[in-house]
A and B are shown apart, each in its own frame.
Chain A
Amino acid sequence: MIDKRLEQILPRVQKPARYTGGEYNEIIKDKAEVDVRIAFCFPDTYEIGMSNLGMKILYGVWNAMPGVWCERVFAPWGDMEDEMRGAGIPLYALESGDPLAEFDIIAFSLGYEMAYTNVLNMLNLAGIPLYAADRGGLTPLVVAGGSACYNPEPMADFMDLFLIGEGEDLNCEVTELYRAARNAGWSKAEFLRRAAQIPGVYVPSLYEVRYNADGTLAAMEPKNGAPAHVTKRILQNFSDAYFPVKSIVPSTEIVHDRVVLELFRGCIRGCRFCQAGFIYRPVRARDPKKLIEQGKEALADSGYEEVTLSSLSTSDYRPLNELCDGLLDFCEPRNVSLSLPSLRADNFSMELMERVQKVRKTGLTFAPEAGSQRLRDVINKNVTEEELLNSCRIAFQGGWNGLKLYFMLGLPTETDEDVVAIAELAGRVLHTWREYAANKSRGVRITVSTSCFVPKPHTPFQWEAQVTMDEYKRRVTLLRDTMRARSITYNWHDPDTSYIEAILSRGDRRIGAVLEQVVRTGGRMDAWDEYFSLQRWLDAFSACGVDPAFYAYRERGKDELLPWQTIDTGVFPDYLWRERESAYRAEITPDCRRACMGCGANRLLKGGVCDA
């Protein structure tokens, strides 16, 4: 649905099909039969947002509610934004083409911190006041959910409320309460006071924040009956949960242009750096027969030529063989391919890879994360060198001639020996190729990538200092100078983005002013190298009198009040501390399948038993 002004703009911008809607399976409702309109905003491009499984699920869930119409909104790329501002076109939703200001609820899906600035920029482009306090009425209600809300504080001043945890039920409950509030004529304050009583809802304005003289948090005191801790919501019966069999098929190409099946939520592994591994607990799997049916239906409905299996660690799905067999029976005669991401180097099976990817043995990726066994034990990445090399051997024997290895630099306790061990490991992978490659004539390409470790909230490393950017660069140089083989390529990510990410992910409410300043000075699309500017961020910190090093480079004490302490993931904070101590002793913790270590997340399930 587009108007004349847009029609003149669209031929001038890159990939105009991102801004038009009209795709197959888009949901159009009769406005006369709709009383709650939701603008579901993804603070990144169409191609990224349309690839997001959470968006697909919640779009379906919301639109299944009678009287509710949920539409999609994405962040325009710079050229489109400039054109829209130039023509005075406010940000609009793709389905109806209506500006955001006409909607009841504006809901952001926040998956990563570097998208925070896009949220503010989108509100600004919609002509909606950024600060919750400046939006006096009940409408529009601006809310956010997603994994970057597990520390809601940096965005606390902008959001009316946060939806913590899985949204399938929670979003509907909040929507119903909004409807009741509007029908009864409640004030915004009255609505928020009641919304805070819904489990999983965090209303930031209901918490009084005080700081100590040293800048650390002194207290976050709930008022008006808000809970001291907001426990994340999870689906009790994930296997039977809604799955979007009919979902929008973009007319233009997106990043993950395929059917996505979600095998399970949570992860049994407990890698100590991994936020997803903790916040998505407890483990709950979906029945393979159900997945096969859903996969077939979704493929038939969409016409997609590829289906992929998604979860934090696909090869840990117990009935993986049964699932793949069932899907392949359907896929093979129809020229549909099945792809398996997130394989672990320790249980990589050639047979499985052969079956699912009959074509193009171009690239394979493993993520040992650290070079030495000691450091892998520290982070609890329970992959041994032997297992990794064994997987490499199988891959090389099977004809693969390209391998990517991902590592982090700056992990807690890392020494120069650990850094050099990355080069040694890459060298042994190369040696394995020389020894076992099925066909050496084509050569081999081993790519080593490093990024700078970002300590995340709700992980055992949430108290850690990040290494400085200079120190990261020193370690990069050390590694680069050690890695000499011609078949090994070394790519390192700039530490700039990781530094800002470290500040945002463990920030408190004082970061809000910085975000606003960044956006005011032209910041947006900070997850994209084309747009990110470290200097702009540094200028904003100094303009706001906020010390970035306080957030990135400072080790927190055991008793320090952490800004995200109000959010309860189900995992005991004591458990995280114990895991941290184990890390410093380089002691590994067995995965959840081998032994339950009592993290506490099982308490979220009725009956209290995980499906590890």
Chain B
Amino acid sequence: MLSCRLLFRKEGLEKYISHLDLMRTMQRAFVRAEIPIRHSEGFNPHPKMVFALPLSVGCESGCELLDVDLLADPELAVLPERLNCVLPAGIEVESAYVPERKFREIAWLAIHGELIYDTGTAETRGSELESFFRAPSLIIEKKGKRGAVELDIRPGIRELRWKSGGQGQIALDAVLSAQEPAINPDFLIRALQQNAPSLAPDFAAFRRTELFDKDMQVFR
């Protein structure tokens, strides 16, 4: 048995499938590629797969990680190619390797966002956004298991860079806390909706671009 980590992208149309859907899709791809993976024991065996960080429906990612145990000992270098030819177009495996680090060491993730405003001018918006997020604390209300809870997302924001594009578009590059607490990029939009509605975009789309450890070294 061989532990294996896959680095893959989830983008295009496949960004709309849920985490559970992704698990099924990956599992089926291994079957199609005839790469047997370890299943759980018990009455109802299911394949053992561990994803690094769940990704929201609608969010793209260029840096998803998945751990599986391979039952045979296939050549890892050709694994991506074998999987890619049986995966739907929006999921593409970039590399397969033996993992050396634990997922819990992931501390930060870089995201890129596109914010679209249907009305208004974009000239001052960039600087207004910048000053809004400069506040020492940013409380948002989110739905927890026991009703609404408040969360200060400010400590989970390490970097924010805004760039005005044309036609009411603003691009955002950010580094956010990956775990404990996980700062979903949507929280940034929610902070605007709840505290500065005039700055809230009409539409926002995000992409996860990189994973880092606590020392801001790329995590693989």
Which residues between 83 and 103 of chain B lie within 8 Å of chain A, taking CB atoms? 86-90
Contact of B13 among A20, A299, A305 (CB under 8 A): A20
- Given the interface pairs A7-B205, A16-B57, A22-B12, the reply to whether A305 lies near B27 with Cβ below 8 Å is yes
Give which listed residue, A17, A304, A359, contacts B17 with CB less than 8 A: A17
Pick the contact of B58 from A10, A253, A360 — CB < 8 Å? A10
Contacts of B12 in A (CB 8 A): 22
B56's nearest neighbour on chain A, judged by CB, is A11
Q: Is B124 an interface residue (CB 8 A)?
A: no
Stretch at the interface among B37-45, B61-69, B138-146: B37-45
B128 to chain A, nearest CB (A): 23
Chain A, residues 21-33, CB within 8 Å of chain B (1/0): the string is 1111000000000
Q: How far is the CA of A473 from the CA of B120 in the complex (A)?
A: 60
- A303, B30: Cβ atoms under 8 Å? yes
Nearest CB of A to B91, in Å: 9
B35–chain A nearest beta-carbon distance, Å: 11
Query: Distance (Å) between the CB of B83 and the closest chain A CB?
Result: 11
Decide yes or no: A251 and B17 within 8 Å by CB, A16-B58, A24-B87, A300-B32 being known contacts: yes
B29 CB to nearest chain A CB (Å)? 6
A38 to chain B, nearest CB (A): 22
Q: Are A11 and B14 in contact (CB under 8 A)?
A: no
Q: A339 near B: Cβ within 8 Å?
A: no
A315 to B205, CA, bound (A): 52
Q: How far is the CB of B116 from chain A (nearest CB, A)?
A: 8
Measured between C-beta atoms, what is the minimum distance from B8 to chain A in Å? 14
- What 1/0 mask marks residues of chain A from 567 to 606 whose CB sits below 8 Å from any chain B CB? 0000000000000000000000000000000000000000
Q: Which of B31, B43, B202 contacts A303 (CB 8 A)?
A: B31
Say whether B123 faces chain A, with CB atoms less than 8 Å apart. no
- In the complex, the answer to whether A303 meets B28 with C-beta atoms within 8 Å is yes
Task: Judge if A187 is at the interface, Cβ distance under 8 Å.
Answer: no
**What residues on A are CB-neighbors of B163 within 8 Å?**
none
Bits for B59-77, please: 1 = Cβ < 8 Å to A, else 0.
0000000000000000000
Interface presence of B24 (CB below 8 A)? yes
**Which B residues lie within 8 Å of A22 (CB)?**
12-14, 88-90
Interface membership of A172, Cβ < 8 A: no
Q: Which residues of B contact A257 (CB under 8 A)?
A: 24
Q: Are A2 and B13 in contact (CB under 8 A)?
A: yes
Given contacts A23-B88, A24-B87, A251-B88, contact A302 B28 (CB under 8 A): yes
Alpha-carbon distance between A351 and B127 when the two chains are bound, in angstroms: 73
Interface string of A302-317 (1 = CB under 8 A from B): 1111000000000000
Asked if B21 lies at the interface with its beta carbon under 8 angstroms from chain A, I say yes
- Determine whether B16 belongs to the interface, using a CB cutoff of 8 Å to chain A: yes
Cα–Cα, bound, A301→B205 (Å)? 34
Check: B25 CB closer than 8 A to any chain A CB: yes
Q: B203 and A360: CB pair below 8 A?
A: no
Complex CA gap A22/B39 in Å reads 28
Tell me if A301 and B32 are in contact (CB < 8 A).
yes
| Distance between B122 CB and nearest chain A CB, rounded to angstroms | 18
Answer whether residue A183 sits at the interface, using C-beta atoms and an 8 A cutoff.
no
Q: Which residue of B lies closest to A13 (CB)?
A: B16
Which residues from chain A contact B89 at a C-beta distance below 8 Å?
22
- Select the residue from A16, A20, A22, A303 with max chain B CB neighbours within 10 A: A303
B117: min CB distance to chain A, Å: 12
B1-54 CB contacts (< 8 Å) to partner A: 12-14, 16-18, 20-21, 24-25, 27-32, 34, 39, 43-45, 47
A252 at the interface (CB under 8 A from B): yes
* A535 at the B interface (CB under 8 A): no
Verify B16–A8 contact, CB threshold 8 A. Answer: no
- Collect the chain B residues with CB atoms within 8 Å of residue A305's CB: 27-28, 31
Report chain A residues within 8 Å CB of B47: 335
| Contact A11-B57, Cβ < 8 Å, known A251-B17, A335-B45, A360-B43 | yes
Contact between chains at B13 and A21 (CB < 8 Å): yes
Q: Which of A278-330 contact B (CB under 8 A)?
A: 299-305
Residue of A nearest to B58 (CB): A11
A522 vs B202: C-alpha distance in the bound complex, in angstroms?
Answer: 29
List residues of chain B with CB within 8 A of the CB of A511: none
How many whole Å from B34's CB to the nearest CB in chain A? 8
Interface: A249 (CB within 8 A): yes
With A10-B16, A16-B58 as given contacts, are A304 and B28 in contact (CB-CB < 8 Å)? Answer: yes
Nearest B residue to A334 by beta-carbon distance?
Answer: B31
Q: Mark A194-235, 1 if CB is under 8 A from B, else 0.
A: 000000000000000000000000000000000000000000
The reply to whether B32 and A303 contact each other, CB–CB distance below 8 Å, is: yes
Q: Are A335 and B17 in contact (CB under 8 A)?
A: no
A contact residues around B17 at 8 Å (CB): 17, 251-252
Q: How far is the CA of A23 from the CA of B203 in the complex (A)?
A: 26
Chain A 351-392, CB-CB to B under 8 Å as 1, else 0, gives: 000000001100000000000000000000000000000000
Query: Which residues does chain A contribute within 8 Å of B90, judged by CB atoms?
Result: 22
The reply to whether B29 and A303 form a contact with Cβ atoms under 8 Å apart is: yes
10 more A-B residue pairs beyond the given contacts A22-B12, A22-B89, A303-B28, with a C-beta to C-beta distance below 8 A: A17-B57, A22-B13, A22-B14, A22-B90, A251-B21, A251-B88, A252-B21, A303-B29, A304-B28, A335-B39
Q: 21 A–B contact pairs at CB < 8 A?
A: A11-B57, A11-B58, A20-B13, A22-B14, A22-B88, A22-B89, A22-B90, A23-B88, A24-B25, A251-B21, A253-B20, A253-B24, A257-B24, A299-B31, A300-B34, A301-B32, A303-B30, A304-B28, A305-B28, A335-B45, A359-B43
Question: What are the 8 closest A-B residue pairs judged by CB atoms, nearest first?
Answer: A303-B28, A22-B13, A303-B31, A11-B58, A16-B16, A303-B32, A20-B13, A17-B16
